């Protein structure tokens, strides 16, 4: 573990903060905020994820929150999910003035209410599709539910669904309007549950848009799937093909979509890592418990012990703004886990967590927990009483962007973070380490972890054109202690490597 160094930069941190160039503020400015769309079924754990999201909502441009009931938790005519979302947004409204003392760009409660819409459908969770019934505990409720045969065409498209309702809804019409807006910015879609509403809107937009406009939308879509939730994912990925992979959670579901599929820029399939945030068999392993959260204002009082299974879907965007990862590259690893390609049978932007260890998510849990505990204190303390993340500066470059360097075989690379600072004047500890799982270099990197602002890394002589990912963690000694990162990706100069081999 890092030891607190005597390296102190109070003056530099204060000057930069007063000049308005603080790293955290720059990272979350209006021009760089990720555009986020939340698709949720508001089941037992979604409410807790929404509560945590709202504490970080100043970091995002929240374009929409679409709430759709999903079986077996809620039937198609249940108002439970909508009421739950409204209760949480109302509690956020009560805390808004207090939260805005900490960050001026927390979204207005009315603005969030305007973009929160109701979807329609209530399909069963995907692995129960063909089982047609469920009876058992969900969260703190005993649920008994049943349904008939589920076919894609009964729920997506023109006409009405088996309940006699139009397949369109307030939510899908809202999304359709969103899709029509001219933009090339990445749209980060978080599929917590109830994807049927999103897929219906996508179906409608393909009907009306030109091929070029539809492709432009697809190129914007970066979809993080907590599982694949219901059969409407068949519109974007062949469920029969997914079942051939070495990961479960599809049960006996079969593909029932027979048209041309569409492929977003990328589609992430968390096939099980998220369970650690939701419902681990050993409940003591849950990252957060209700008794740790409550007592921090109206929002915290709504937090229960139902888990937070959907939280990883936005954690990778939080850690990107803390310098850990590029939000457009899910293979790098982040607070939201690390993903690998689904293989040549799938579109190039399709990734999953299959065969990757859960440690790719859990290794970050201590830092994530301290961050959330600090956010909770926003509800009860003034800005002067809470901690703020340190600001790593590497090679003279502030900000969260990944640093990329081309290096020669055997080169000694000096990496310098001595200009890093802390906005609160806290002591800083430094920890440099190699992230081999994210690197493409296949060999063993001989490397002594460094716990100083400066250190020298010796490039492997056989690096070729491979990469080595180096992570810098900068931790303060505030309470709770917070961490920020910089990632340095070293790519070998393959030509020099070939010349080295000839010599």
* The dihedral sign for the CA sequence 212, 214, 218, 221: positive
**Helix H or strand E segment including 469:** strand 467-476
Q: Record the tokens describing residue 346, joined without a space.
A: 């799938």
Residue 36: helix, strand or coil by DSSP?
Answer: strand
Q: Report strand pairing: 133-138 vs 141-146.
A: antiparallel
**Helix H or strand E segment including 298:** helix 298-301
Per CATH, 36-234+262-379 and 391-502 having the same topology is answered no
Contact yes or no for 334/351 (Cβ under 8 A): no
* First vs last C-alpha separation in the chain: 41
- The residues spanned by each domain of the chain are 36-234+262-379, 391-502
Q: Which CATH number fits domain 36-234+262-379: 3.30.420.40, 3.90.245.10, 3.90.226.10, 3.40.605.10?
A: 3.90.245.10
Q: Record the tokens describing residue 418, joined without a space.
A: 């001595």
Q: What is the pLDDT of residue 282?
A: 86
**In whole angstroms, what is the distance from residue 149 CA to residue 321 CA?**
44
E strand residue ranges, 310-408? 340-341, 350-352, 403-407
**In whole angstroms, what is the distance from residue 298 CA to residue 311 CA?**
20
Distances (CA, A) of 366 to 328, 363, 371: 24, 8, 9
Q: What is the pLDDT of residue 44?
A: 87
Q: What is the DSSP letter of 412?
A: E
Angle, CA 47 vertex, CA 66 and CA 485 arms, to 5°: 95
What is the per-residue pLDDT across 329-353, written as a single tens digit (0 to 9) for each?
A: 999 999 999 999 999 999 999 999 9
Angle, CA 352 vertex, CA 157 and CA 138 arms, to 5°: 70
Contact yes or no for 293/82 (Cβ under 8 A): no
Question: How buried is 335 (Cβ within 10 angstroms: 0-12 exposed, 13-18 middle, 19+ buried)?
Answer: buried
**In whole angstroms, what is the distance from residue 70 CA to residue 417 CA?**
48
Which among 342, 316, 345 is positioned nearest to 329, based on CA atoms?
316
**In whole angstroms, what is the distance from residue 204 CA to residue 128 CA?**
27
**In whole angstroms, what is the distance from residue 263 CA to residue 265 CA?**
7
**In whole angstroms, what is the distance from residue 187 CA to residue 62 CA?**
10
* CATH class of the structural domain 391-502: mainly beta
From the CB of residue 214, how many other CB atoms can be counted at a distance below 10 Å?
17
CA 419 and chain centroid, separation: 29
Regions of the chain short of the pLDDT cut 70:
1-31, 495-503
Which among 34, 323, 41 is positioned nearest to 185, based on CA atoms?
34
Q: Report strand pairing: 221-226 vs 187-191.
A: parallel
**In whole angstroms, what is the distance from residue 474 CA to residue 452 CA?**
10
Q: What is the pLDDT of residue 495?
A: 57
Q: What is the pLDDT of residue 155?
A: 98
**In whole angstroms, what is the distance from residue 178 CA to residue 492 CA?**
42
């Amino acid at each position: 573990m890092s030891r607190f160094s005597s390296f102190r930069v109070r003056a530099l941190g204060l000057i930069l903060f007063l000049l308005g160039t603080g790293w955290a503020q720059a990272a979350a400015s209006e021009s760089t905020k990720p555009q986020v769309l939340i698709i949720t079924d508001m089941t037992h754990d979604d409410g807790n994820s929404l509560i945590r999201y709202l504490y970080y909502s100043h970091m995002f441009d929240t374009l929409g929150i679409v709430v759709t009931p999903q079986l077996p938790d809620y039937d198609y005519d249940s108002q439970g999910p909508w009421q739950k979302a409204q209760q949480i947004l109302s509690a956020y409204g009560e805390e808004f003035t207090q939260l805005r003392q900490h960050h001026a760009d927390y979204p207005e409660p009315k603005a969030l209410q305007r973009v929160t819409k109701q979807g329609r459908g209530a399909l069963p969770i995907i692995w129960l599709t063909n089982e047609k019934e469920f009876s058992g505990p969900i969260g703190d409720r005993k649920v008994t539910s049943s349904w008939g045969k589920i076919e894609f065409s009964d729920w997506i498209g023109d006409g009405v669904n088996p309940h006699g309702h139009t397949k369109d809804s307030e939510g899908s019409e809202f999304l359709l309007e969103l899709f029509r807006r001219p933009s090339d910015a990445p749209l980060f879609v978080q599929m917590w549950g109830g994807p049927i509403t999103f897929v219906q809107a996508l179906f409608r937009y393909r009907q009306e848009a030109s091929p070029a406009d539809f492709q432009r939308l697809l190129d914007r879509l970066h979809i993080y799937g907590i599982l694949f939730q219901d059969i409407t994912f068949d519109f974007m990925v062949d469920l029969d093909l997914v079942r051939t992979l070495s990961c479960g959670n599809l049960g006996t579901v079969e593909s029932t979509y027979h048209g041309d599929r569409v492929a977003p820029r990328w589609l992430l399939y968390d096939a099980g890592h998220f369970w650690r945030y939701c419902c681990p068999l050993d409940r003591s392993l849950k990252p957060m418990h209700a008794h740790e959260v409550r007592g921090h204002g109206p929002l915290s009082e709504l937090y229960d012990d139902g888990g937070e299974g959907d939280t990883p879907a936005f954690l990778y965007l939080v850690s990107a703004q803390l310098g850990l990862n590029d939000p457009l590259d899910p293979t790098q690893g982040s607070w939201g886990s690390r993903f690998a390609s689904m293989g040549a049978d799938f579109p190039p932007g399709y990734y999953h967590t299959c065969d990757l260890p859960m440690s790719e998510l859990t290794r970050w849990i201590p830092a994530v927990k301290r961050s959330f505990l600090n956010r909770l204190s926003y509800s009860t303390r003034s800005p002067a009483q809470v901690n703020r993340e340190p600001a790593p500066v590497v090679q003279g470059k502030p900000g969260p962007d990944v640093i990329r360097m081309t290096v020669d075989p055997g080169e000694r690379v000096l990496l310098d973070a001595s200009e890093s600072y802390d906005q609160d004047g806290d002591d800083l500890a430094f920890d440099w380490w190699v992230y081999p799982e994210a690197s493409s270099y296949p060999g063993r990197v001989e490397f002594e972890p460094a716990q100083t602002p400066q250190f020298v890394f010796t490039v492997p002589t056989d690096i070729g054109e491979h990469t080595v990912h180096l992570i810098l963690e900068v931790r303060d000694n505030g309470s709770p202690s917070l961490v920020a990162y910089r990632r340095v990706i070293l790519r070998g100069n393959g030509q020099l490597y070939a010349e080295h081999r000839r010599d």
